[in-house]
Amino acid sequence: MASTGKVAIVTGSATGLGATCAIDLAEKGWNIAINYTKSKKEADETYAAVTAKGVEAILVQANMGEDADCRRLAAETMKKWGRIDGLINNAGTTKFQAQGDLEGVTPEDFDIIFRVNVTGPYMMSRAVYPAMKKQWEEKQERGSIVHVSSIAGVMGIGSSIPYGCSKGALNTLTLALARQLAPAVRVNTICPGFIQTRWLLGGLGEENYNKLKESQEQSAPLRQAGTTEQMAEAALFFLTSASNITGEFLIVDAGTHLGMLPMKPR
């Protein structure tokens, strides 16, 4: 598809959900700023997949926990295209904590996780806001920001306590930014449940990952374990379609938040 001229930044887009969002947006004709911290090889692969869709892309190595890097990512995007229409704040981090092991995370873990998962999306939103505000004032073209939160921020579950707390804070940040950046920018959030990703597999280990995946497929109301494609579909709905929606959270977890159903017989 030929480029529409629209531009999006997708943080943490070398792998997983971020990569899927970047590729799916490219399929819709958006030019993409691909961001990575360490995964250069995977970022190159995402770049190739994005540009194969007939659009333009740039690769920017930047740490989303550093304000200077956030501002540089926005600046390099503006230098390339002169506009920013969308931002998906996907980059995140965690530390895996065993159930009941309160000594398993430290105050420093809280600092790092909140820095990337909460302060990072704030800094990135702040970095792109001037461009989006200018487009609104000059062309009545409204920007769109989507945060990638988690069901952990709604239910207090997940890989660790600080991770769940950070995602709850990110949900609150969504409300605050939706108020403060209106009417120039819409701000919304998706809250994924289980997603089949290398990141989760690496954190849980193969045995625990497979057990959790099977549990989702057997007892989640929709009887399925989420994919990056399903999560990206929700993120792109907010980014590209939901023109009259701001300040909303969308839980995307196969209905897990409703309560697990009895396991299906084998």
Q: Which of 36, 122, 129, 163 is catalytic?
A: 163
**Position 197 pLDDT exceeds 90:** no
Say how far apart CA 177 and CA 195 lie, in whole Å: 26
Give the list of residues 6+ apart from residue 168 with CB closer than 8 angstroms, or none.
152, 153, 154, 156
Let me know how many helices (H) and strands (E) the chain has, helices first: 10, 7
Q: What's the pTM?
A: 0.92
Is 163 tagged catalytic? Answer: yes
Q: Please work out, in degrees rounded to the nearest 5, the angle formed at the alpha carbon of residue 36 by the alpha carbons of 8 and 63.
A: 100
Residue 1: its pLDDT value, please? Answer: 64
CATH fold, domain 7-251, is Rossmann fold (3.40.50)
Cβ atoms 227, 198 nearer than 8 A: no
Say how far apart CA 103 and CA 210 lie, in whole Å: 26
Residue 111: its pLDDT value, please? Answer: 97
109-127: pLDDT as tens digits: 999 999 999 999 999 999 9
**Position 128 pLDDT exceeds 60:** yes
Say how far apart CA 139 and CA 59 lie, in whole Å: 28
Query: 58-62, 204-208, 237-241: which has the minimum mean pLDDT?
Result: 204-208
164-189: pLDDT as tens digits: 999 999 999 999 999 999 999 999 99
